[in-house]
Chain A
């Protein structure tokens, strides 16, 4: 299985901050990576697919980049509704694995 390692696992930030989360794959996955946001008690929400394509309806402050084994999710100006846990998922090979998650909390 392809392992995905997210860093950091926990992030404390303020409203307005620029936030970057990294996802590293144990082997190359081209651009087959998605990012999700999950709030407590809710299902994950797709933010980014194909590493850098913004899902319809997602605010433009979210962006993704990377290919191969290293990827980043950036929130350009953190908003109160962005405090949540973020997961990456590789879609290159089966089983389609997730990273362990990054919890973004209010400083």
Chain B
């Protein structure tokens, strides 16, 4: 079955850029929408944005000026970049697949999560 795995630095300095990659295994990245969600310590879930396998994107307006999501179909990966980070960006970052090739059907496959701490 399809599995997702996040990878990237666990510690990022303030004002720098957070970079994470999600590797899709057991299935193709093609035909689906792929999202990033984050969860600050002890808090709820925040939707960051999605990318379609073709490259079209949609971002949360609260982060839009700082976020970029890209896809590499040859590697079956998609990536998140969040610039100018502050302590408020400290969170567990999840990648996930939107089910049924639509963004309206919920997210049925999730990575295990990557903890990112912003600190000098």
Contacts and interface: CB of A to CB of B under 8 A. Distances in A.
A interacts with B: yes
Interface of A: 1, 32, 34, 36, 42-46, 48-50, 55, 87, 89, 91-92, 94-101
Interface of B: 37, 44-47, 49, 58-62, 94, 96, 99, 103-108, 110-113
Q: Which secondary structure characterizes the binding site on chain A?
A: loop
A98 B113 contact: no
Given A43-B113, A95-B61, A87 B104 contact: no
B102 to A, nearest CB: 9
B45 A98 contact: yes
Contacts of B45: 44, 87, 89, 98, 101
Contacts of A46: 99, 106-108
A94 B49 CA distance: 9
B44 A98 contact: yes
A49 B110 CA distance: 15
